[in-house]
Amino acid sequence: MKILQINKFFFLRGGSERHFFDLSELLSEKKHQVFVWSTKHPCNFSFPNQEDFVQFIDFSKSIWQGIKKTKEIFWNKEAKEKLEKVIKREKPDVAHLHNVFSHFSPSIIFALKKYKIPIVLTLHDYKLFCPNYKFFSKNKVCFNCLKNKNYRSCFSKKCFNDSWIKSFGGYLEGKWHKDFLKVAEKIDIFLAPSLFIKKQAIEWGIPKEKIIHLPNFINKTYVNKKIENKKQSNYFLYFGRLSQEKGVELLIKSFLNILNEFPEWKLKIVGDGPEEENFKKIAQGNKQIEFLGRKNSKELNKIISEAYLIVVPSLWPENFPYSILESNALSIPVLASETGGLTELIKHEKSGLLFESGNKNDLENKIIWSIRNPKKIRKIGELAREEVFAKYNSEKYYKKIIKIYERIKIS
């Protein structure tokens, strides 16, 4: 089968990119013809035919430059023309879309429909239902746009960087997608990695029969990465984006509170983001809290594999974070907040630990419990590893995804 995989980043920026690359590799190993299409970016992995990629749009530039590029968010003519060129040359049987909005615009969906290419879209985020992707605004979980089935709250609450201009742009983009172009109607199948996002999609109005719950998978290379008889370390680890919705501030404050009783323990933080300097101030220069910056995959895997416990303190409702799969695959248990799809990945005191989202006292208590129960933590890590390879292995995913491709190819 000829399968076109599309994602707007061609480097490891987050979970959707991890899945995009892993799935492309898996399908190639199964002897399918896989074609990838993305944007041109300095961080891109080396790959032939990048002349067919679209010019990357940098929205971090000045407001004026952003305004000039706004038309490309609504209709990217270059993206449509270049994708049509790829379609004519490769003649794919099916297109699988991942993280595609804003940089490509809906023009690519119309290009695919023009040539009658069936479309699968994985719901890696909440963009269709929430313009800022997160269901999180003003430091609180927010479902206003979903419940009202419009995007007015994005503008009224200034959900984009507390900016009227950017938030109005988010409102217009959402309305353009939903009410004018009716983008969701043109997607043949939506893949929901979590039951949580499937529920939101149904509430939004996407027909149940178009949404398939299909959790992402863990790359088989993790199978041989288990570290036997590893000496348990004395550090907790957070890795990911350093932003408000991730709950890192809550984690730092909770950790500082337990240091008097457990002075030998450390908290390591890997990643970067808009709140990095603020989080460093909150840490008060404490030597037991280390900010390690961004790490490549090999470095990060080593740090994860030597951690005592991974903490995912999210305030926003996470969808299906790869951080849990990666940690569990290395036999490292995860302490996560009870929000979004996290409770689908973790069963408390069996395959991990859970605490009440946003509750600092509960987070502190769970950290202390983990310190006092090292044998149970090791056992939880072992069970988590068994479960992640039983539930989220590549073979199981492949059998399901190929049936979906075949079904829409002939429908």
| Higher-confidence position of 59 and 367 | 367
Residue 214 has pLDDT above 90, yes or no: yes
| Higher-confidence position of 110 and 67 | 110
Residue 124 has pLDDT above 90, yes or no: yes
What's residue 222's pLDDT?
73
Determine the angle formed by the axes of helices 248-258 and 360-372, rounding to 10 degrees: 50
Q: What is the mean pLDDT of residues 263-285?
A: 96
Residue 304 has pLDDT above 80, yes or no: yes
Q: What is the mean pLDDT of residues 253-261?
A: 96
Six-digit token string for 35: 């074609």
pLDDT, mean over the chain: 92
Q: What is the mean pLDDT of residues 191-197?
A: 98
Residue 202 DSSP symbol: H
Is 3.40.50.2000 the CATH number for 222-391?
Answer: yes
By the 10 Å C-beta count (0-12 exposed, 13-18 middle, 19+ buried), 169 is classed as buried
Q: What is the mean pLDDT of residues 262-266?
A: 97
Handedness of CA 9, 14, 15, 18 (dihedral sign): positive
The phi-psi region of residue 179 (left if phi > 0; otherwise alpha if psi is between -120 and 50; otherwise beta) is alpha
Distances from the Cα of 291 to the Cα of 9, 237, 326, angstroms: 26, 10, 20
Q: What is the mean pLDDT of residues 39-64?
A: 81
Q: 92-106, 151-165, 321-335 — which is least confidently predicted? A: 151-165
Q: Maximum distance among all alpha carbons in the chain?
A: 66
Q: What is the mean pLDDT of residues 269-281?
A: 96
* Distance from C-alpha of 187 to C-alpha of 121, rounded to nearest angstrom: 7
Residue 28 has pLDDT above 90, yes or no: yes
* Distance from C-alpha of 5 to C-alpha of 399, rounded to nearest angstrom: 17
- Indicate the pLDDT class of residue 229, thresholds 50, 70 and 90: low
- Indicate the pLDDT class of residue 230, thresholds 50, 70 and 90: low
What's residue 64's pLDDT?
45
Six-digit token string for 261: 């009783």
Q: What is the mean pLDDT of residues 47-66?
A: 74
- Indicate the pLDDT class of residue 62, thresholds 50, 70 and 90: very low
Pairing mode of beta strands 54-55, 136-137: unpaired
Pairing mode of beta strands 140-141, 136-137: antiparallel
Q: What is the mean pLDDT of residues 69-85?
A: 88
Six-digit token string for 270: 């890997």
* Distance from C-alpha of 64 to C-alpha of 93, rounded to nearest angstrom: 41
Q: 55-59, 293-297, 383-387 — which is least confidently predicted? A: 55-59
- Indicate the pLDDT class of residue 225, thresholds 50, 70 and 90: low
- SS3 call for 149: coil
What's residue 247's pLDDT?
97
Q: What is the mean pLDDT of residues 340-363?
A: 97
Q: What is the mean pLDDT of residues 12-18?
A: 90
Cβ neighbours for 324, distance < 8 A, ≥ 6 positions apart: 310, 312, 334, 336, 342, 345, 346, 352
Residue 189 has pLDDT above 90, yes or no: yes
Contact 198, 213 (CB under 8 A): yes
Which sequence spans correspond to the domains of the chain?
Answer: 2-217+393-410, 222-391
The Cα angle at residue 75 between residues 109 and 150, in degrees rounded to 5: 80
Q: Per CATH, the architecture of 2-217+393-410 is what?
A: 3-Layer(aba) Sandwich (3.40)
What's residue 223's pLDDT?
64
